[in-house]
């Protein structure tokens, strides 16, 4: 095995670069990745294939950002150690088709260069050529005119040039010319690109990486991050849209994972299937309508983690939104799907756990499935805030299309979601303003705020006007709730066991609300089964006093009871607007089946 070297940077461009070690490759890759990161928004605007999800730039940027984060402080001259770190971090951080393909490519490069502490240009050329096969093998249906074509063509030209002259400088320079031609020719392979008059976004993204490396070799300096302005999206033309709704990803770890068998089983679950990695760790990307079925299938082979589900229909709606303000909320807002789509609200799902089984609220488990599981499971569910990466991905994607992002979360007294969103909002690229607001409430109360704000955005309100409005509305919304039984309040830890048992013995249940600070408060108690009448009377009295004009009812698997409550509201407030929705799992886990939540927005 060749020995490592103590070189700290690439030599002057007039000298030959005969070898690359871990330190040299790290500097070069970081330079290339910075070039890609600086083009994130432009790539998002360009993307039309394989589905018009408009997030190729964000997916590639998130993938390489994870690599940069992992390797910046990893200082080694040993090439194989460095590339293994790159491959592992790429697999963990990979997002979207393009990100998973990149991860598999780096995995292949690490495998091919495993014997080397440093490598010559000729040997490196052979390795990048062979690494392309790993990327092709990861896809169930590889397609030419994409990043795959660029990886293959660039690798072949680099290898040919390096064989003639064992020097990285001319090999890269000459192969860059070929890479640019390959990207320019991608529309010749794919009619969807020709129709939209664009090149493949992922291929262009990898070209930016190569060009960044080339500039680093020329100057010896890593280019800084430069944040651009919002870029106008390219016309869609006739995109080859997936017939499935959810872009689904996860990691699975195990011993001797049978990749061919897993891939065969996944074929019937969706399209755009990519399975990258090794026998001990695989990264999945698939477009499907049943994310939970996919996670359960993989769970039979190993430990599933890093689950991610994106709603591609919601992403596609961005292209048809003429507004400059994006509206984001977590899934606890209990806004009907029709209203989410009408107001173009982007939902970040709360996570739900039944023991070791992790579920994604509203995506991998429906309300009906949740209440069935709640009644039958020996393990009481717990809820958790969305992982920071969920907010990061949504904010970065939206920042490519909107000048401002308004985010409303459930009360910070009930969850860390507000703090998480606020923290991730600080990392949004310059040029996009982000306001994260603590609703100080939950469920349909947050939904009513979103309705009013969304309609004001569609009416053309400015971002300053919308920010002022949402803060005002948090003081004008009220929520009332009551439960069928104390059982779930006790199991969820919201009520002490002794106090709950006493209440059960007396057949009394609480009437609950959300206080001004955003915490759950008990207004009074009522005898069973009169609690629903008592709750409504308190609700209606305050609604009349406050001049309520928007109303909503949510139910925990009790649609008939919710309909009856809604009819009472309509009779008492005939001029008001009204909607009914299921209670989200984040609240349903504590109040249990049969519970009712009512809210109004007052003047």
Cα–Cα distance, 267 to 279 (Å, whole number): 19
The phi, psi pair for 274, rounded to 5°, reads -130, 130
* Angle at alpha carbon of residue 232, lines to 231 and 236, rounded to 5°: 130
Fold exhibited by the domain 243-313 = Alpha-Beta Plaits (3.30.70)
The phi, psi pair for 586, rounded to 5°, reads -60, -30
Tell whether the model's pLDDT for residue 199 goes beyond 50.
yes
Give the residue-averaged pLDDT of 505-518: 86
Most confident of 301-315, 488-502, 547-561: 547-561
Q: Among candidates 112, 98, 91, 120, which has minimal Cα distance to 24?
A: 120
Compute the 3-state secondary structure of the chain and give helix, strand, coil in percent, each to the nearest 5.
50, 20, 30
* Angle at alpha carbon of residue 367, lines to 364 and 369, rounded to 5°: 70
439 vs 319, more confident: 439
Q: Binning pLDDT at 50, 70 and 90, where does residue 353 land?
A: confident
| Helix orientation angle between 201-219 and 22-37, rounded to the nearest 10 degrees | 130
Q: Binning pLDDT at 50, 70 and 90, where does residue 1 land?
A: very low
**pLDDT confidence of residue 321:** 67
At which residue do the structure tokens 């939104």 appear? Answer: 321
- With residue 439 as reference, give the H or E element that holds it: none
Give the residue-averaged pLDDT of 289-309: 91
Q: How far is CA 326 from the centre of its chain?
A: 16
Most confident of 51-65, 176-190, 558-572: 558-572
Per the CB < 8 A criterion, the answer to whether 99 and 59 are in contact is yes
Bridging pattern class, strands 303-311 and 382-384: unpaired
The whole-chain average pLDDT of the chain stands at 87
3-class secondary-structure state, position 371: helix
Q: Write out the two tokens for 256.
A: 């001797």
Q: HSE on the CB side for 339, CA within 13 Å?
A: 22
* Predicted TM-score (pTM) above 0.85: no
**pLDDT confidence of residue 470:** 97
**pLDDT confidence of residue 492:** 57
Give the residue-averaged pLDDT of 286-313: 90
pLDDT tens-place string over residues 359-369: 888 888 888 88
**pLDDT confidence of residue 228:** 46
Tell whether the model's pLDDT for residue 555 goes beyond 90.
yes
- Counting residues of the chain whose pLDDT is more than 70, the rounded percentage is 90
Decide which of 3.30.1180.10, 3.30.300.180, 2.60.40.10, 1.10.10.10 is the CATH code for 477-601. Answer: 3.30.1180.10
pLDDT tens-place string over residues 33-87: 999 998 888 888 776 654 444 578 888 998 999 999 999 989 899 999 999 999 9
Per the CB < 8 A criterion, the answer to whether 42 and 230 are in contact is no
Q: How far is CA 456 from the centre of its chain?
A: 26
**pLDDT confidence of residue 14:** 52
**pLDDT confidence of residue 197:** 84
Cα-based distances in Å from 10 to 258, 454, 535:
41, 53, 73
- Counting residues of the chain whose pLDDT is more than 90, the rounded percentage is 61
Q: Write out the two tokens for 410.
A: 């459930």
**pLDDT confidence of residue 360:** 87
E strands in 267-411: 270-277, 281-288, 303-311, 325-330, 345-348, 351-354, 357-360, 382-384, 404-409
- The architecture of the domain spanning 19-219 is Alpha Horseshoe (1.25)
**pLDDT confidence of residue 375:** 82
Q: How far is CA 488 from the centre of its chain?
A: 31
Tell whether the model's pLDDT for residue 478 goes beyond 60.
yes
**pLDDT confidence of residue 125:** 95
Cα–Cα distance, 499 to 483 (Å, whole number): 15
What is the per-residue DSSP string for 88-136? HHHHHH--HHHHHHHHHHHHHHHHHTTT-SEEEHHHHHHHHHHHHHHHH
Q: Binning pLDDT at 50, 70 and 90, where does residue 511 land?
A: very high
Tell whether the model's pLDDT for residue 109 goes beyond 70.
yes
Name every residue whose Cβ is closer than 8 Å to that of residue 176 and which is 6 or more positions away in sequence: 210, 211, 214
A 10 A CB-CB count for 314 gives 17
* Angle at alpha carbon of residue 591, lines to 585 and 595, rounded to 5°: 100
Cα-based distances in Å from 491 to 494, 524, 590:
8, 21, 8
**pLDDT confidence of residue 227:** 53
Cα–Cα distance, 513 to 534 (Å, whole number): 13
Per the CB < 8 A criterion, the answer to whether 568 and 350 are in contact is no
ω before 333 within 30° of 0 (cis)?
A: no
Domain boundaries, the chain: 19-219, 243-313, 477-601
């Amino acid at each position: 095995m060749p020995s490592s070297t103590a070189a700290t940077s690439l030599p002057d461009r007039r000298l030959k670069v005969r070898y690359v070690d871990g330190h040299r490759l790290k500097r070069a890759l970081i330079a290339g990745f910075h070039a890609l990161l600086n083009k994130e928004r432009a790539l998002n605007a360009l993307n039309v294939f394989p589905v018009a999800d408009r997030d190729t730039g964000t997916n590639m940027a998130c993938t390489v950002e994870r690599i940069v984060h992992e390797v910046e402080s990893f200082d080694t001259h040993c090439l194989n150690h460095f590339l293994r770190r790159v491959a592992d971090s790429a697999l963990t951080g990979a997002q979207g088709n393009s990100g998973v393909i990149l991860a598999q490519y780096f995995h292949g490069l690490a495998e091919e260069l495993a014997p080397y502490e440093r490598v010559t240009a000729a040997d490196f050329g052979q390795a990048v050529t062979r690494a392309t096969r790993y990327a092709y093998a990861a896809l169930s249906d590889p397609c030419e005119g994409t990043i795959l074509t660029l990886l293959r063509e660039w690798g072949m030209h680099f290898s040919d040039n390096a064989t003639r002259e064992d020097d990285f400088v001319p090999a890269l320079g000459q192969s860059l010319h070929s890479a640019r031609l390959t990207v320019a020719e991608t529309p010749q392979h794919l009619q969807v690109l020709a129709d939209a008059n664009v090149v493949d976004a992922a291929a262009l993204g990898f070209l930016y990486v190569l060009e960044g490396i080339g500039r680093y070799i020329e100057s010896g300096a890593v280019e800084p991050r430069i944040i651009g302005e919002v870029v106008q999206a390219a016309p869609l033309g006739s995109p080859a849209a997936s017939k499935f709704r959810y872009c689904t990803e996860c990691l699975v770890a195990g011993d001797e994972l049978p990749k061919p068998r897993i891939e065969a089983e996944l074929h019937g679950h969706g399209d755009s299937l990519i399975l990258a990695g090794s026998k001990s760790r695989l990264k999945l990307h698939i477009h499907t309508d049943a994310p939970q079925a996919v996670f359960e299938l993989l769970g039979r082979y190993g430990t599933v983690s890093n689950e991610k589900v994106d709603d591609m229909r919601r992403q596609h709606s961005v292209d048809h939104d003429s507004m400059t303000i994006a509206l984001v909320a977590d899934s606890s807002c209990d806004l009907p799907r029709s209203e989410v789509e009408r107001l173009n609200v982007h939902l970040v799902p709360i996570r739900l756990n039944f023991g070791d089984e992790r579920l994604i609220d509203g995506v991998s488990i429906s309300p009906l499935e949740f209440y069935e599981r709640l009644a039958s499971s020996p393990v009481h569910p717990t809820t958790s805030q969305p992982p920071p990466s969920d907010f990061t991905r949504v904010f970065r994607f939206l920042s490519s299309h909107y000048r401002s992002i308004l985010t409303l979360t459930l009360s910070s007294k009930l969850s860390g979601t507000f703090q998480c969103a606020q923290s991730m909002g600080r990392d949004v690229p310059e040029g996009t303003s982000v306001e994260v607001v603590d609703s100080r409430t939950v469920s349909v109360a947050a939904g009513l705020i979103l309705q009013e704000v969304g309609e004001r955005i569609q009416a053309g309100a400015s971002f300053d006007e919308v920010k002022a409005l949402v803060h005002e509305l948090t003081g004008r919304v009220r929520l009332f709730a009551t439960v069928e039984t104390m059982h779930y309040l006790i199991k969820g830890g919201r009520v002490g066991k002794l106090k709950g048992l006493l209440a059960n013995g007396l057949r009394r249940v609480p009437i609950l609300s959300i206080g001004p600070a955003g915490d759950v408060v008990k207004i009074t108690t009522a005898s069973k089964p009169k609690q629903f009448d008592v709750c409504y009377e308190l609700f209606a009295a305050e609604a009349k006093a406050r001049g309520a004009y928007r109303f909503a009812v949510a139910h925990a698997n009790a649609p008939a009871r919710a309909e009856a409550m809604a009819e009472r509201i309509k009779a008492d407030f005939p001029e008001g607007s009204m909607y009914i929705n299921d209670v989200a799992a984040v609240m349903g886990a504590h109040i249990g089946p049969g519970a009712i939540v009512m809210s109004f927005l007052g003047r």
